[in-house]
Amino acid sequence: MRFVPVQSVKDNSILMKSIYGAHGELLLNAGVALNSQYKKRLIALGLNGVYIHDDISDNIEVVSVINDSLRNQAVQNIKNTFVFVTKPNTSRMEKKRSFTNISDIVDEVIDDILKSKDMIINMIDLKVFDDYTFYHSVNVAVLSLVVGIALKLPRPSLHNLGLSAILHDIGKVFVPKNILNKKEKLTDSEWKILQDHSLNGYDYLKDEYEVNQKCYEAVLHHHERWNGQGYPQQIRGKKISLFARIIAIADVYDALISDRAYRKGYSPFEAMEYIMGGGGTMFDTELVKIFTERIAPYPVGTIVNLSNDLVGIVAENFPGRGTRPVLKIVRKDGKEIKPFMLDLWDPGTRSITITSQVKNWYLDDN
């Protein structure tokens, strides 16, 4: 199994992860053979890619940190919660029910992650463009909880961290869509409106929901930076709450690997380089270290070039050794060979390095 951009999908490729629509409906079930008509639908939906099975990725399994059904349920519930914010006639009962659903989902996400707490996260994401904020909110919650679990936070703290993370961008419902989706550089006044989402989200939660004080602070401060150059209050270092420092890293990472109106998404490796480069200035260095140990810079299914002219597909990752995965080698000196496994953690392979990610997703196109 591997992740392929929609534009690169070939006819008869087998879909390996189900595709859901904007309202949570099942559009394409795993196991279907993709064709040109399906491809058009996927492009219209705004998906950046799909997981497929083909010969070169045989026996490679991508394990989701949370199951697809739960993830879709989480997206729909956060979407409903955000929609209620903009509806003046929404009853308190509806808001309370929506918030309870979000709270319950956070607990389910924690349970799913704890089942495989020693795994490394292979985050290549399927986002529907128009619903970016909702998918992003769920991903930030997952990434934040992975860090929280690595820190051995107690269960109540994990719940509050997850709740803060999934609601961190709720203030964006007050930002006009033409600003959120603008392709050109924002004007100073537009940038100020966008920055206000942190304070607006904080104020809304304080008015509408009774949660732990740390949740309010995390929503308010998730754009604060370690060096004091963030917003809205320009606080620095450990004066920024732990939750906000964790969410800040998860928020930037997921935003970087996502396609946006104004740019294509970074590769996970490029995004990880950015996060590591921001340690000590933008982000807490200690948390950056934990994050980079738990999130794969080369997710399973990624095709990479090696320094010895081999080409391989990432088959397995392990915590703390993200740049030294297990590979399924499929080419040597530009020619197809009988596949074999190569573990870059073995002492005999230490001189071999990953030099780049293969951008042609089908090797016969090289």
Is 63 contained in some domain? Answer: no
In terms of domains, do 274 and 328 share one? no
Q: How confident is the model at residue 366 (pLDDT cuts 50, 70, 90)?
A: very low
* pLDDT above 80 for 30: yes
Domain for residue 327, yes or no?
yes
- pLDDT at position 360 is 57
- Range(s) of the domain holding residue 320: 303-365
For residues 212 and 335, membership in a common domain is answered with: no
> Which residue type occupies 221?
H
pLDDT digits (tens, 9 = 90+) for 240-250: 999 999 999 99
| Sheet with 310-316, edge to edge strand ranges | 335-343, 326-332, 310-316, 303-306, 354-357
* Claim to verify: residue 175 and residue 270 sit in the same structural domain: yes
- Domain check: are 274 and 187 in the same one? yes
325 and 195 assigned to the same domain: no
Residue 170 covered by a domain: yes
194 has a pLDDT exceeding 70: yes
The per-residue pLDDT for 362 is: 54
Taking 50 as the threshold, does the pLDDT of residue 255 lie above it?
A: yes
- pLDDT of 173 strictly over 70: yes
- Helix, strand or coil, per DSSP, at residue 30: coil
Quick one: average pLDDT of 275-300? 96
Model confidence band, residue 127 (pLDDT cutoffs 50, 70, 90) = low
Sign of CA dihedral 323, 280, 169, 173: negative
**What is the average pLDDT across 283-298?**
96
Could you say which of 245, 265, 294 is where a domain stops? 294
What is the per-residue pLDDT for 235? 98
Q: Establish if 218 belongs to a structural domain.
A: yes
Does 274 share its domain with 320?
A: no
Cα four-point dihedral sign 325, 330, 333, 334: negative
CATH of the domain at 30: 3.90.105.10
Residue 173 lies in a domain: yes
Q: Are residues 276 and 360 in the same domain?
A: no
* pLDDT score at 93: 84
Q: Using pLDDT thresholds of 50, 70 and 90, give the confidence band for residue 11.
A: confident
How large a percentage of the chain has pLDDT more than 70?
95
Domain boundary residue, one of 294, 325, 345: 294
- Would 290 be classed as within a structural domain? yes
- Angstrom CA distances, 75 to 95, 105, 219, 351, stand at 16, 10, 18, 43
Whole-prediction pTM: 0.90
- The pLDDT value recorded for residue 126 is 55
Domain count, the chain: 3
Instruction: Give the model confidence (pLDDT) of 271-286 as tens digits.
Output: 999 999 999 999 999 9
> Does 224 lie in the same domain as 286?
yes
Q: Is the pLDDT of residue 128 over 70?
A: no
User: Is 28 or 362 the better-scoring residue by pLDDT?
Assistant: 28
Looking at the structure, tell me whether residues 49 and 141 fall in a common domain.
no
Residue where a domain stops, chosen among 294, 312, 345: 294
Same domain (yes/no): 250, 124: yes
Report if residue 60 sits inside a domain. no
C-alpha to C-alpha distance for 205 and 170, rounded to whole angstroms:
9
Could you say which DSSP state residue 304 is in?
E
What pLDDT sits at residue 359? Answer: 63
For residue 118, is pLDDT > 80? no
Please give the mean pLDDT across all residues of the chain.
89
76 neighbors 23 (Cβ within 8 angstroms): yes
Q: If you ran DSSP here, which 8-state letter would residue 266 be given?
A: P
More confident residue, 93 or 269: 269
Q: For the CA atoms of the chain, what is the radius of gyration? A: 21
61 assigned to some structural domain: no
Domain with residue 230: its CATH number is 1.10.3210.10
Are both 270 and 126 inside the same structural domain?
yes
Same domain, 24 and 151: no
